[in-house]
Amino acid sequence: MVPTIERMEVIPVAGYDSMLLNLAGAHGPFFTRNIVVLTDGEGYVGVGEVPGGEIITKRLESCIPVVEGSKLGQYKNTVLACQHLLEEQMKTGAATSVSDPKTAHGQIFSKVTNVLTGVETPLLDLLAKHMEVPVAALLGDGQVREDVRFLAYLFYVGDRKKTDLPYLHDDDASDEWGRVRREPALTPEAIVHQAEAAQERFGFHDFKLKGGVFAGAEEIKAVRALKERFPEARITIDPNAGWSLAESVELCRDLTGILTYCEDPCGAEGRFSSRETMAEFRRLTGLPTATNMCDTDWREMKNAIRLDSVSIPLADPHFWTMQGCVRVAQLCDAFDLTWGVHSNNHFDISLAMVANAGAAAPGRLNALDTHYIWQDGQHLGKEAPKFHDGCLTVPRDGVGLGVEIDRAKLEAAHKLYADNNCGTRDDAAGMQYLIPGWTYDPHRPAMVR
Ligand code: GKR
Ligand code: MG
User: Across the strands, what pairs with 39?
Assistant: 7, 45
| Residue 293: Cβ-neighbour burial (10 angstroms; 0-12, 13-18, 19+) | buried
pLDDT (tens digit per residue) in 198-235: 999 999 999 999 999 999 999 999 999 999 999 999 99
Residue 343, SS3 per DSSP? coil
Pairing between β-strand 289-291 and β-strand 261-263 as defined by DSSP bridges: parallel
Domains along the chain with CATH numbers: 5-138+407-419 (3.30.390.10), 147-393 (3.20.20.120)
What average pLDDT does range 414-424 have in this prediction?
Answer: 93
- pTM comes to 0.96
CA distances 389 to 144, 202, 247, Å, are 19, 6, 36
pLDDT (tens digit per residue) in 280-338: 999 999 999 999 999 999 999 999 999 999 999 999 999 999 999 999 999 999 999 99
343 in ligand 1 pocket by Cβ < 6 Å?
A: yes
HSE-CB of 136 using CA atoms within 13 angstroms? 25
Q: Is 210 a catalytic residue?
A: yes
pLDDT (tens digit per residue) in 32-72: 999 999 999 999 999 999 999 999 999 999 999 999 999 99
Comparing CA positions, the residue from 368, 362, 363, 367 lying closest to residue 343 is 368
Residues 6+ apart with CB under 8 A from 291: 263, 264, 274, 278, 304, 309, 310, 312, 313, 314
Quote the ligand 1 centre to 222 CA distance (angstroms).
18
Q: Judge whether 47 and 62 are in contact, CB under 8 Å.
A: no
pLDDT (tens digit per residue) in 138-183: 999 999 999 999 999 999 999 999 999 999 999 999 999 999 999 9
**Residue 102 pLDDT exceeds 80:** no
Least reliable range by pLDDT among 107-121, 264-278, 307-321, 399-413:
107-121
Q: How confident is the model at residue 104 (pLDDT cuts 50, 70, 90)?
A: very low
**Which mutation among 153, 240, 370 tests ligand 1's pocket best, with the greatest number of atoms within 8 A of CB?**
240
Q: Which ligand is nearest to the CA of 19?
A: 1
Q: Judge whether 43 and 21 are in contact, CB under 8 Å.
A: no
CA distances 241 to 53, 265, 281, 327, Å, are 24, 5, 12, 26
Look up residue 207 and give its DSSP letter. E
**Cα distance between residue 47 and residue 174, in whole Å:** 30
User: Across the strands, what pairs with 209?
Assistant: 154, 237
208 in ligand 1 pocket by Cβ < 6 Å?
A: no
**Residue 446 pLDDT exceeds 90:** yes
**Cα distance between residue 14 and residue 154, in whole Å:** 21
238 in ligand 1 pocket by Cβ < 6 Å?
A: yes
pLDDT (tens digit per residue) in 336-386: 999 999 999 999 999 999 999 999 999 999 999 999 999 999 999 999 999
pLDDT (tens digit per residue) in 180-199: 999 999 999 999 999 999 99
DSSP 33-78: EEEEEEEETTS-EEEEEEE-SHHHHHHHHHTHHHHTT-BGGGHHHH
Residue whose CA is at the smallest distance from ligand 1 atom 5: 22
344 in ligand 1 pocket by Cβ < 6 Å?
A: yes
Q: Judge whether 425 and 53 are in contact, CB under 8 Å.
A: yes
Q: What is the pLDDT of residue 111?
A: 81
Q: What is the pLDDT of residue 105?
A: 41
Residues 6+ apart with CB under 8 A from 125: 38, 46, 47, 48, 135, 400, 401
What average pLDDT does range 425-444 have in this prediction?
Answer: 96
Region of 351 please: left (phi>0), alpha (psi -120 to 50) or beta. Answer: alpha
105 in ligand 1 pocket by Cβ < 6 Å?
A: yes
**Sheet (strand 261-263) strand order:** 152-154, 206-210, 234-238, 261-263, 289-291, 312-313
Region of 222 please: left (phi>0), alpha (psi -120 to 50) or beta. Answer: alpha
Residue whose CA is at the smallest distance from ligand 1 atom 8: 344
Q: Is the dihedral of CA 200, 202, 205, 206 positive or negative?
A: negative
Q: Which ligand is nearest to the CA of 213?
A: 1
